[in-house]
Amino acid sequence: MIELSGLTKRYGEKVAVNNLTFTVRPGIVTGFLGPNGAGKSTTMRMMLGLDRPTAGDVRIDGQHYDRLKDPLKYIGALLDAKAMHGGRSAFNHLLCLAQSNGIPKSRVHEVLDTVGLTSVARKKAKGFSLGMGQRLGIAGALLGDPRILMFDEPVNGLDPEGIHWIRNLMKSLAAQGRTVFVSSHLMSEMALTADHLVVIGQGRLLADTSMADFIAQNSRSFVRIRTPQRERLLDVLRGAGFLVVETGSGVLEVDDGKSEHIGELAAQHQIVLHELSPQRASLEEAFMQLTAESVEYHAHAGADAGAPADPPPAGPPQPWGDDWTRSR
């Protein structure tokens, strides 16, 4: 387990990490999310003893990182894929790491094979593409066969096959009972990979919950209905106690309704339906709703200097509801 307790980091006036307390548990993939500058990398650096906390504490299996003997055997991390000696070959880079952590040379061959770099193992790392560098960084994290793995933006620069590979790798590491902690800005990827989420904004903890609960708590779910007998259906649904929202485009939206129940009611009253579909917001929408207040760095809608900002598009109602506006 990784246990954070009141973890805080200040850089002068700036509070990068503010009193974070949470536990990362084994057997699942835990996603670590937050807008740019939220403090994710600083938190991960403190977990690995690369930055000293201003206050609070972080423990790896009950111990501080700098007390761990042969730390790569406890925790493997990919923080910055470019943080390696570019003049060394991939093999020699891993061999140096292995020798300083009491890991046998045979393990270097194994991890090169796992990440698919065996054929370029003797090539210098400085000639590697971004994706190859990521794979080499992941090989370094796996080297000590650790029970805990931490990845900062691991899919950065990977092609679709590589993204698929790392998703399955993280899931299989968790299924083996390991602790997997991963940050990413790619929400669609995180939604497919993580079981649990820790979300921070401006250094503070915003959520520590399962993926399903996070989406349910931070977004609106409703049933979308289209019918040529709109007035009749409205009477039936309201008569049954449903809260129905009429949208401008003739679509009805029923909050907290079950599509089975609504379909059966419509059938009883011989009302024709053209659409009956449950709608649930995506992780991206839920994330944007939760973190809207804590986004520090905003882009302006008119990217060209001097160009007036575009008005918000007058499209269909957004799945997160009309009363919520995106921070622009």
Residues 6+ apart with CB under 8 A from 309: 300, 301, 302, 328
- Determine phi and psi for 10, rounding to 5 degrees: -110, 140
> Residue count at the site for ligand ATP (CB under 6 A)?
11
CB of 34 to ligand ATP, least distance (A): 5
The nearer residue to ligand ATP, 12 or 306, going by C-beta atoms, is 12
CB of 175 to ligand ATP, least distance (A): 28
Q: Could you give the angle at which helices 90-100 and 130-142 cross, rounded to 10 degrees?
A: 20
Secondary element (H or E) of residue 75: strand 75-78
Q: Is 157 in the site for ligand ATP (CB under 6 A)?
A: no
- Determine phi and psi for 135, rounding to 5 degrees: -65, -40
User: First CA to last CA across the chain, in angstroms?
Assistant: 38
CB of 11 to ligand ATP, least distance (A): 3
In 125-258, where does DSSP find H-type helix?
130-142, 160-175, 187-193, 211-217, 230-239
CB of 169 to ligand ATP, least distance (A): 22
CB of 220 to ligand ATP, least distance (A): 27
The nearer residue to ligand ATP, 36 or 119, going by C-beta atoms, is 36
CB of 288 to ligand ATP, least distance (A): 15
The nearer residue to ligand ATP, 111 or 190, going by C-beta atoms, is 190
The DSSP code sequence of 111-160 is HHHHHT-GGGTTSBGGG--HHHHHHHHHHHHHTT--SEEEEESTTTT--H
The nearer residue to ligand ATP, 14 or 126, going by C-beta atoms, is 14
The nearer residue to ligand ATP, 34 or 154, going by C-beta atoms, is 34
The nearer residue to ligand ATP, 33 or 112, going by C-beta atoms, is 33
List the interface residues with ligand ATP, window 5-64 (CB under 6 A): 11, 14, 16, 34, 36-42
Q: How many residues does the chain have?
A: 328
Rounded CA gap, 314 and 90, in Å?
Answer: 53
Q: Which residues bind ligand ATP (CB under 6 A)?
A: 11, 14, 16, 34, 36-42
